[in-house]
Amino acid sequence: MTKKWRKRTCDEKLAREVAKEFGISYLLSKILVSRGINSPGKVEDFLYPSLEKAENPFVFPDMKKASERLAKAILNREVIGIFSDADADGITSAAVISSFLRDCGFPEENILVRVPSRDKEGYGLTKDFIDQVRAKNSKLIITADCGIRNHEEIRYAKLFGIDVIVCDHHHPDYSLPQHAFAVLHPKTIPHDSSTKFLSGAGVSFELVASTRAKIGKDLPKPRKYLDIVTVGTIGDMVPLLGDNRIFVKFGIDLIRGGTGNIGLATLAQKVTKREKISSRDIQMRIVPRINSSGRAGKPEISFRLLFEQNIKDVEKLSNEIESMNSWRRETVDSILDDIKFLGLIDKSK
């Protein structure tokens, strides 16, 4: 089948004006204009991301009730269950919520986190975890980067009086989960917004930011978690536009400065020069290492790396992740060698 390239049209006069106004190359200006970044305001937002220009998290229709419910659970010291996906986006989503709870002075023993093994538990919220939460007399579960299709499991939780807040960005199926206490999903936003491109970590961050606003301003600013959000955002390959671009810009600055998450800074230092880390380094070096624990059937190791604060434990966990990443690479190489041996792919490539 023959495919044709389709060249984007570009207003060359506008491109020249943008290049001159912002002091950028004509080539870069043409790329921006051809991609719809074609006004001074849009160009400025793209070139100079600012946290002050991020969307209000209450753009999510259910955010008010979700943040009020989480704030209530924090103030009353309820046991809170957090169930995530096992990839980098899910792990970072769980780490953002858990770290916020801890920084609120919330007792760690009241935080029940399950990062499931895909091989043993599959994908999505499970009744087994709901039963575990029930046994602790918990009345709140937050799903992190999953849950949008867990209709039966959420109904099961509701039967026992457990509220479920869904934080997800994956495509829903026939409907949103009707029995959820609140659904935080980009698809629920009724108007055009850059938040429609958020990753699971981004959605979880918005919940944290709005909950802090409900509890009080004496708590740490949620921006401190943006280095963790950055890993989930880049790992899930969502468009780096709007809020995503803002979050990643600030998150990379945190990693470079070594002022963010201890586990992430330690891992970054092992794989590249932290002060020069780029989005490509995160995509090609950090994300595969976070994912490697899931490939090895131990996704909780990466979560613990991002949640742990003791530097000795962090160093031990980062070394364990390095070992699992080496195993992952060797496994992939072995599979490729087998494929080549069978003649299924061209050995010369």
DSSP sequence for 108-176: GGGEEEE---HHHH-SS--HHHHHHHHHTT--EEEEES--TT-HHHHHHHHHTT-EEEEE--SPP-SS-
Residues in the chain: 349
Structure tokens at 52: 């002050």
- Looking at residue 299, its pLDDT comes to 87
The span from the CA of 283 to the CA of 247, in Å, is 15
118 contacts 86 by C-beta, under 8 angstroms: yes
- Looking at residue 78, its pLDDT comes to 96
- Looking at residue 271, its pLDDT comes to 83
* Res. 117: pLDDT tops 90: no
Query: Three-state secondary structure along 237-306?
Result: CCCCCHHHHHHHHHHHHHHHHCCCCHHHHHHHHHHCCHHHCCHHHHHHHHHHHHHHHHHCCCCHHHHHHH
- Looking at residue 146, its pLDDT comes to 96
Residue identified by tokens 């023993």 is 109
Reported as a single tens digit per residue, the pLDDT across 163-190 is 999 999 999 998 999 999 999 999 999 8
Amino acid at 258: G
pTM: 0.90
Amino acid at 266: T
Residue 90 CB burial class (10 angstroms; 0-12, 13-18, ≥19): buried
CATH 3.90.1640.30 assigned to 57-329: yes
- Looking at residue 165, its pLDDT comes to 98
Structure tokens at 81: 């269950």
The span from the CA of 325 to the CA of 117, in Å, is 16
Mean pLDDT on 229-241:
94
- What do you get for the CA distance between the two ends of the chain, in Å? 23
The span from the CA of 143 to the CA of 122, in Å, is 15
Classify the phi-psi angles of 348: left when phi > 0, otherwise alpha if psi is within -120 to 50, otherwise beta: alpha
Q: What are phi and psi of 129, to 5 degrees?
A: -70, -40
Mean pLDDT on 145-166:
97
**Looking at the DSSP assignment, which residues form a beta bridge with residue 163?**
140
Least reliable range by pLDDT among 158-167, 246-255, 267-276, 283-292: 267-276
Residues 6+ apart with CB under 8 A from 269: none
Structure tokens at 178: 């009707």
Q: What are phi and psi of 150, to 5 degrees?
A: -90, 60
Reported as a single tens digit per residue, the pLDDT across 48-101 is 999 999 999 999 999 999 999 999 999 999 999 999 999 999 999 999 999 999
- Looking at residue 220, its pLDDT comes to 81
The span from the CA of 89 to the CA of 235, in Å, is 6
Angle at 290 between CA 55 and CA 193, to 5 degrees: 15
Residue-range domain boundaries for the chain: 12-48, 57-329
**Between residues 9 and 137, the one the model is more confident about:** 137
